[in-house]
Structure 1
Amino acid sequence: MATQVEASVLHGVKDLRIESRQLPPPFANEVQIQIASTGLCGSDLHYYSHYRNGDILVREPLSLGHESSGIVTEVGSSVSDLRPGDKVALEVGLPCERCPKCKEGRYNICKEMKFRSSGKSFPHFQGTLQQRINHPAKWCYKLPEDVGLDVGALLEPLGVALHAFRRSLMQPEATVLVFGAGAVGLLCAAVAKLKGASRVIIADIDAGRLEFAVQNGFAHNSYTVPMRRGKDIDESLTMAKETAEAIGKIDGVGEVDTVFECTGVPSCVQAGIYSTRPGGRLMLVGMGHPIQTLPLAAAALREVDIVGVFRYANTYPESIEIVQQAMRSKDGPDFSKLVTHRFCGLEEAPKAFEMAGKTKDADGRLVLKVVIDSSEGAPPSKL
């Protein structure tokens, strides 16, 4: 018998409505999940604010949300490894599992990928800002007792950081620079640190975020990027060189082995090229400006590899291990502190999205990751 659930549905720019949906029992290979925690991501904000994400247009009402965890409430007849009451994190991208990329394990770039809360596939694959959803058990990961549901939701962006680390081929004792101290940048820094980097420097224009990063064990040092723009490309590249030189003077680190660029801002990508040692790697993690002006000769003549990163593949089990490793670490990072604001109930979604678009709240507190609890009977927000 179908269950009636509530969902937060986007109908236009900043037009979120609560609607009822009929949720059928799970198929044999599925589980039904009461969604308990959904973190708001930059792509969610783009859809909310513009009803599009770059060139991807929303073509029908869409529930947002894809960084999620919850409680299993019902299991399909062929599911044996999960049972009601289990806490799970959801991997919400469903690849075709037939194409060459899927067969070689790179299903994140499957052309037939259906990804919850994305407008790319049509009909759209509805996101997790619903009280309950059915989802294939294969893409649900049981959380250990010591991993909470909010941290379980963070496994999705942590997967991006882990995937970036894997593609970086970073070696132990490497020196690392991260541009961008948002959630993904902080997670990239944390993964590099936990994987044995000797020095992790994080750079951003926001001094408050940098202070958070160092104080909470996400990075060893930080650099506040000046707020300035060149009047032309020559002046912009000169400024990028100056930024790289200033960062290189921190602890005498010089050029670094690996740069994780998590902003997509041209000046940071440029500085990233200049900051990377000969033979090093610049990882393009942030999705910013689609067209960039870059000093490619500075990369080519020093054999700096520029490597793209898109989502993740096969990361959840190791991400859970990373979270548990961090819990045992004496100097952090404390992943739970990334969740700075929590809203309870789908009716609070508009407030949550407005908060996620800020860097500080009305009380001057840092805004990093905003989470919505959409479960039935969720208590009112105390924010």
Structure 2
Amino acid sequence: MPALPTSLAAVLHGPKDLRLEPRLLWAPEPGQCQVEVKATGLCGSDLHYYIAGRNGDFAIRSPLVLGHESSGVITALGGGVATQYPHLRVGMRVAIECGIPCRSLNSDGSCRTGKDACKHCSNSRYNLCKNLRFCSSAKTFPHRDGMLQQKINHEAWCLHPIPDTLSYSQAALAEPLSVLLHASRRAGICPPSSYPSLASTSLSSSLSPSSSNMSLAAGKKILVFGVGAIGLIACALARELGAERVCAVDINNDRLAFAAREGFTHGDGTGTYCLPLPSKSNSPEAYSSNPKEPENIRRAKENAANALSIFDEPDGFDIIFECTGAEGCVLMSVFCATLGARIALIGMGNPLVSSFPISAAATREVDLIGSFRYADTYNEAVELLSGSNLPKTTCKSSHLNGAQDSEKAGFSQKLAKLVTHRYPLSQAKEAFELLARGKDERGGMVLKVVIEA
């Protein structure tokens, strides 16, 4: 009897304990495809798992294959796929969506009805499905392995065809771009999805023909905290959606300089702010006139005032994307927000904030918006990465630096610059160590590290 084929996988057993191991490769089940993984981007959550064995509240409880920003090529079809998903075929290049909800289906494939139906899957919010399993996440147990392996079996409906003009590494960016498409919808600056995959009715049908040509981001001033890969995508998408101005805050001058130079932000020298590290001084001058005010709140106010001065935006920003999860940035975002602003919480950082300016947020009607993963975003992400436009606005806004738009790379070319380093699967551990350092051996900046076949 012939031996079963195997697939090499990078398996995390504990903090910094990443091992290359063979895994048995079974035939795809009904409704699944077998996919040869061609590219997988490493993200902040992968790094948290690698360094600490956990990401926020989610700790690994058994060996786990990381990686969820992936693309590949279909090598086999499971039973029923050719009939149910006729657009998929062997040899097709695809982007891989890694969140697998219940879809409001029973184990036999029949639809749930009434009180048994999953309200989140039924309303195109399947990212909130209680039974969702996300590849490479320790949120649920048993864990479902991620994409740092040669071949995987995956649900067919989660595979999204990509054009031949889009490289596998670029297609892997559909996942982080999806995070920002979802957050932008939550923040009210991006239209609803044109591709609802689970809902019974199209969300986009609520848009009239005239309103679909209007930019929801027009006139909006947007601030992004953190210009790692996710933050840079937030900047790029906000500009693509037609925001009036996009600015950014970080602690890394090199990344801020990259953001300004490559057109992710607006304003030469005035669209970025480098956040100083907390002072170790305990001098009386370091404290506010209010002795009851916590030090972290005082510092957040001070940093916000300095940033708004540099940006020349005394009234603050309309939309804020908080992509760091760091307590200081979360607090600072409240004081950088204008009246009636929205703050989208994207970064997964400290699970607790020691004190929060709830009164400042409430009296100024600042909305704190949670944003977790994504739903119905992948096809539009692929379109954007392929050079297509969102159904947004008939023209770009003529804001600061607007005259320079034509001199900058297009959206998809701009995002392609985020991939700074590539490694084979056999060097996955070295790739994680590079991502942790943040600079390569030549002192070059590390943004997005991709594992390629």
Same fold (TM over 0.5): yes
- Matches of residues 360-379 of structure 1 in structure 2 within 5 Å? 360-373=439-452, 375=453
Q: Give distance in 2, aligned partners of 1:10 and 1:31.
A: 25
Larger mean CA deviation between 73-82 and 195-204 belongs to: 73-82
Unmatched segments (≥5 aa) in structure 1: 376-383
**What's the offset of the Cα at 1:158?**
0.9
Tell me which residue corresponds to 2:296: 236
Which of 373, 378, 390 is the aligned partner of 1:311?
373
**What's the offset of the Cα at 1:252?**
2.7
**What's the offset of the Cα at 1:129?**
0.7
- 1:140-173 per-residue CA deviation (whole Å, 9 max, x = no partner) reads 1111222211111111111111111111113312
- Matches of residues 104-115 of structure 1 in structure 2 within 5 Å? 104-115=123-134
Larger mean CA deviation between 135-144 and 79-88 belongs to: 79-88
CA contact (8 A) 1:36 1:70 kept: yes
Which of 140, 160, 184 is the aligned partner of 2:159?
140
- Matches of residues 50-89 of structure 1 in structure 2 within 5 Å? 50-79=52-81, 80-89=86-95
Larger mean CA deviation between 263-272 and 363-372 belongs to: 263-272
When residues 266 and 76 of structure 1 are mapped into structure 2, their CA distance, relative to the original with a 3 A threshold, is same
Larger mean CA deviation between 162-171 and 52-61 belongs to: 52-61
Q: Give distance in 1, aligned partners of 2:219 and 2:382.
A: 23
Question: Is residue 225 of structure 2 the alignment partner of residue 179 of structure 1?
Answer: yes
Deviation beyond 6 Å, 4+ runs, structure 1: 326-329
Number of residue pairs matched by the alignment: 373
Question: Is residue 260 of structure 2 the alignment partner of residue 198 of structure 1?
Answer: no
**What's the offset of the Cα at 1:229?**
4.6
Question: Is residue 305 of structure 2 the alignment partner of residue 225 of structure 1?
Answer: no
Equivalent position amino acid for 2:98 in 1: V
The DSSP-based 3-state class of the residue aligned with 1:249 is helix
Larger mean CA deviation between 292-301 and 47-56 belongs to: 47-56
Q: Give distance in 2, aligned partners of 1:336 and 1:327.
A: 16
* Identical pairs, percent: 45
CA contact (8 A) 1:160 1:311 kept: yes
- Matches of residues 292-311 of structure 1 in structure 2 within 5 Å? 292=353, 293-311=355-373
Q: Give distance in 1, aligned partners of 2:165 and 2:265.
A: 24
The DSSP-based 3-state class of the residue aligned with 2:294 is helix
Unmatched segments (≥5 aa) in structure 2: 105-117, 190-216, 288-292, 391-404
Tell me which residue corresponds to 1:285: 346
Larger mean CA deviation between 232-241 and 141-150 belongs to: 232-241
CA contact (8 A) 1:229 1:236 kept: no
Question: Is residue 433 of structure 2 the alignment partner of residue 354 of structure 1?
Answer: yes
Q: Give distance in 1, aligned partners of 2:311 and 2:278.
A: 24
- 1:255-310 per-residue CA deviation (whole Å, 9 max, x = no partner) reads 11111111111211121111111111111111111111211111111101111111
Equivalent position amino acid for 1:225 in 2: L
TM (norm. structure 1) is: 0.92
TM (norm. structure 2) is: 0.78
When residues 326 and 297 of structure 1 are mapped into structure 2, their CA distance, relative to the original with a 3 A threshold, is farther
Equivalent position amino acid for 1:82 in 2: L
- 1:92-119 per-residue CA deviation (whole Å, 9 max, x = no partner) reads 1101112111111111111111111112
**What's the offset of the Cα at 1:124?**
1.3
Question: Is residue 130 of structure 2 the alignment partner of residue 130 of structure 1?
Answer: no
Alignment RMSD (CA, Å): 2.0
The DSSP-based 3-state class of the residue aligned with 1:291 is coil
- Matches of residues 315-326 of structure 1 in structure 2 within 5 Å? 315-325=377-387
- 1:217-250 per-residue CA deviation (whole Å, 9 max, x = no partner) reads 2221211111125868534323322322233234
**What's the offset of the Cα at 1:251?**
5.1
Tell me which residue corresponds to 2:396: none
Q: Judging by fraction of residues, say which structure has more strand.
A: 1
